[in-house]
Structures are given as C-alpha cells and as structure tokens.
Amino acid sequence: MKTIQSLRGMNDTLHNVADKFEYIINTATEIAKNYGYTQIETPLLEETALFKRSVGESSDIVGKEMYQFLDKGGNDVCLRPEGTAGVVRSFIQNKFDKRGGNEKFFYHGAMFRYERPQKGRLRLFHQFGCESFGENSVFEDVSVILLIRDIFDALEIGYKLKINSLGCSECMPTYRENLVSYLEEKREELCEDCHRRIETNPIRTLDCKNEKCQTELSDSPKIVQNLCESCDSDFEILKRVLKESGMDFEVDTNLVRGLDYYNKTAFEFVSDEIGSQSAIAGGGRYDKLVEFLGGKDTPAVGFALGIERILDLVKVPEAENSGYYFGTLDSEYLQKLYLLGTQKRGKERVHIELKKRSLNKHLQNADKMGYRFCAILGSDEVANSTIWIKDLKLSSEDTISQDAF
Ligand code: HAM
C-alpha cells in the first residue's frame, strides 16, 4: 500500500530540530519578557475578512497564498498566514484599545502560506513575533529593532538590517500619485505583475523581483525623499539613535514589505548565509490598523522572525549530562528497578531501560543518551537491597541502600 506523506512544504519537527526550536523560542521569549512583553496566543483559524482587511486584498499573501475554505457552518475562514492581524483583532476584542492601549505582546506558532516551496520557503512555517501597542514615538521602533538584535546576538546569528520609511497618510498619497505617473511612462517596459500593481498597490513595484523591472525603476521617485516633516524627522531620529546604539543598517528605498498595513518605519533583517530567501525577520509600524479593524485609534509597531529560516544558523549549546539511567542485568529484577526509577521521575530526567543488557551496554547507552548517573540492579544488589550507581561525569561509583536512594 502506498504510504501517506506530509503535504508539500509542510515538515515534521523531529529530534535535534525540535531542540533548536525550543532553544530559539526560549531565548527569544526571555529577551521579549525583559523588554516588557507578555505572551498572547491567538487561534490558527480566523475569519478570512480579518486578513483581507489587514494584510490587504492586493497583497500576494491574501491574493494567492491563503488556505481559505468554508467551514461546516458556511463561514469563510482561513489558516492564519501571519500573526499580527490576529493579535490586533484580540487587542480590540478584549477592549485593550479602550483601556489606555499600552500593551506589549509576544507570540510564536505556525503560519500557513500557499507559496511555491523552495529552500527557506515553506507552506507551514513558524514565527516568533512581538507587537507593541499604544506608543507612537519612533524610539519604540528603535526598541523593537534592538530587541531583534538582542535575540540574534544571543543566538549568535549574523545579519544585516535594512530600513526604510513608508510615510503616512499625509505624505504617501502625493508620493503614490508621482510614482504612478512615473510608472505609467515606463509601463511598456514593466512585467505583467507590475502592470497589476500600478492599479492595486503601486509601491509594490519597487521590490519586484524581475531584474528588468529593477533596472527600469532604478531612478524612480524615492519615498524617503518625499516624506512630510513629521515622517522625515522620525526617520532621521531612527537613523541617528540606531547609529548611536551601535546598530549598523542600510537604507533600502525599495523595501516596501509584502503586507499593506505598514506606515512610517519598515525594516528587514537579512542573512547572506541562507540562500535566496534571505529575510530572517521583518516588521515595522502600523499606526492605522487598530482603527481600520474597528478599534480606537492606537499606534503600533512590531516584527516577526522566521524560525525555519534561522535553524541552520543556530547551534544549541551542548547540554551537560544529567539525570538517571536505570538498567538491570536480569529481567527478573525489572519490577524492582521500575519502581525505584519511578520514584525519581518527575524530579529528575529519568530513563528506565526495560530490556536487560550487559553492564557495559547500559553504561554506553546512558552516556549516549546524555544521562549523568547510571543506576544498575543485579543479583547482588537485589540480595542486599542496594543499587549500584556510576557517576559518568566524575567516573566514580558507589553502592548505596535502596532506602537511602
Ligand atoms: P513577514 O515579513 O511576512 O512579516 O514574515 C516575517 C518572517 O517570517 C520573514 O522575515 C521570514 O523570516 C518568515 N517567513 C515568511 N514567509 C515564510 C515562508 N513561506 N517560509 C518560511 N519562513 C517565512 C509578517 O508576517 C508580519 N506579521 C511581521 C510583523 C509583525 N509586522 C509587524 N508586526
């Protein structure tokens, strides 16, 4: 019979990969908590309308990549393609917007995008993200960027930071008009996708992956040269404070992000060690999203990092051997061994080997499995109500009474 495989772009998480996941999440969690964030978990399934309204109908994510279906009640739902929209929905639903609005949340979990799978691009992937609500100061944008820096530094991952400003509702419309006039002049030279983007979301033409478009658009009007006074001043502060904080960056005027909710600061962390899918984290400010989804006007800024993208770059520090491995030389003593081992469970790492083995084999196993103590029951120990224990770290051994043990 043909065996059933996991779906394309969806992987199992096993053994050392699971260890890395845990290490990345624990490291990021500790740092996010130090920055004042508390955990939030939102459902994997949400109303499709949530993502249409936030990520945007013109985005590739909503237009092409959603796992969308009608549930048995006829509701139009989809698996979340990203985490921000659900957190904002929850923020409004739980009335945080009406209660001052200053909240900081971190989350991690599975996201689903029906993309064309390749190295670093999956259909099921995991993000760790943070969303900070209620602070419109650009210093909060710096804090979010430094939080990511602290996470990548703790994980010993190299990166480059790219930043841009996407302006606001005051400066963006004029810029967009200028850009559209420019694009119309170049229309013949641009790809099919860009033709569509001129209509739906012209700034997305700036990060078109088509090389010809890139060359054609190299002298396009730049957003950062068309910012209003407030956006311009914030962008200057952002650059200055990042610099003063020792954070290297590059201004990338074509960085526009693939989600429609951003304004002002937008950024991406990239790695040159993981191939073409080089973005390891991305985010920015989204001051209008809470209001747009029906809440009270609340500024916000956040990011998400892609856990699978950094797996190959992370080395989990070797854990010291710990806990007890229990083994017996004769199956007859298994029950006694089992009960002794069970008493230690819950307090320590414990493995009870249910197959009888030679002493040497048990010692080898205990070491291979990362246990510090190898506790053995043989005929002498059973006769004397003792247990033989070898400390594999200190290479010392001892026979002690079972009661004392
Ligand atoms: P995003 O840039 O779409 O932003 O995703 C963030 C990160 O998730 C990317 O930088 C990448 O590392 C990872 N990622 C995205 N797609 C895939 C994929 N198909 N396979 C593997 N990894 C992937 C967001 O999702 C925003 N919600 C971030 C944000 C939070 N902005 C403000 N707050």
Domain 324-401 CATH (choose: 3.20.20.100, 3.40.50.2020, 3.40.50.800, 3.20.20.10): 3.40.50.800
**Is residue 120 predicted with pLDDT exceeding 90?**
yes
Alpha-carbon distance 378 to 328, whole Å? Answer: 6
pLDDT, tens digit (0-9, with 9 covering 90-100), for 39-95: 999 999 999 999 999 999 989 999 999 999 999 999 999 999 999 999 999 999 999
Q: Looking at residue 317, what is its pLDDT?
A: 92
What percent of the chain is predicted at pLDDT more than 90?
95
**Residue 367 in contact with ligand 1 by CB distance below 6 A:** no
Q: To test the ligand 1 pocket, which listed residue (46, 87, 127, 162) has its Cβ within 8 A of the most ligand atoms?
A: 127
What percent of the chain is predicted at pLDDT more than 70?
100
pLDDT, tens digit (0-9, with 9 covering 90-100), for 209-257: 899 999 999 999 999 999 999 999 999 999 999 999 999 999 999 999 9
Alpha-carbon distance 214 to 218, whole Å? Answer: 6
Asked if 328 and 168 touch (Cβ cutoff 8 Å), the reply is no
| Residue 3 pLDDT grade (very low, low, confident, very high; cuts 50, 70, 90) | very high
**Residue 287 in contact with ligand 1 by CB distance below 6 A:** no
**Is residue 14 predicted with pLDDT exceeding 90?**
yes
pTM here? 0.94
**Is residue 15 predicted with pLDDT exceeding 90?**
no
Alpha-carbon distance 73 to 169, whole Å? Answer: 39
- Considering only CA atoms, give the Rg of the chain: 28
**Residue 141 in contact with ligand 1 by CB distance below 6 A:** no
Ligand 1 geometric centre to CA of 197 (Å): 21
- The residue among 250, 246, 200, 242 whose CA lies nearest residue 224 is 250
Q: Looking at residue 173, what is its pLDDT?
A: 93
Ligand 1 geometric centre to CA of 31 (Å): 19
**Residue 304 in contact with ligand 1 by CB distance below 6 A:** yes
Cβ neighbour number for residue 331 with a 10 Å cutoff: 11
CATH superfamily of 15-171+227-313: Bira Bifunctional Protein; Domain 2 (3.30.930.10)
Residue with tokens 């969308």: 68
Domain ranges across the chain: 15-171+227-313, 324-401
**Residue 270 in contact with ligand 1 by CB distance below 6 A:** no
**Is residue 28 predicted with pLDDT exceeding 90?**
yes
**Residue 167 in contact with ligand 1 by CB distance below 6 A:** no
Alpha-carbon distance 272 to 160, whole Å? Answer: 8
Do 15-171+227-313 and 324-401 come out as alike in CATH topology? no
| Residue 319 pLDDT grade (very low, low, confident, very high; cuts 50, 70, 90) | confident
SS (H, E, C) 243-288: HHCCCCCEECCCCCCCCCCCEEEEEEEECCCCCCCCEEEEEEECCC
| Residue 101 pLDDT grade (very low, low, confident, very high; cuts 50, 70, 90) | confident
Q: Looking at residue 245, what is its pLDDT?
A: 97
Alpha-carbon distance 52 to 293, whole Å? Answer: 11
- Which ligand 1 atom minimizes the distance to the CA of 280? 12
Asked if 267 and 145 touch (Cβ cutoff 8 Å), the reply is yes
**Residue 303 in contact with ligand 1 by CB distance below 6 A:** yes
- Which ligand 1 atom minimizes the distance to the CA of 283? 31
Say how far residue 263 (Cα) sits from the centre of its chain. 22
Partnered with residue 130 across adjacent β-strands are 106, 303
Q: Looking at residue 16, what is its pLDDT?
A: 85
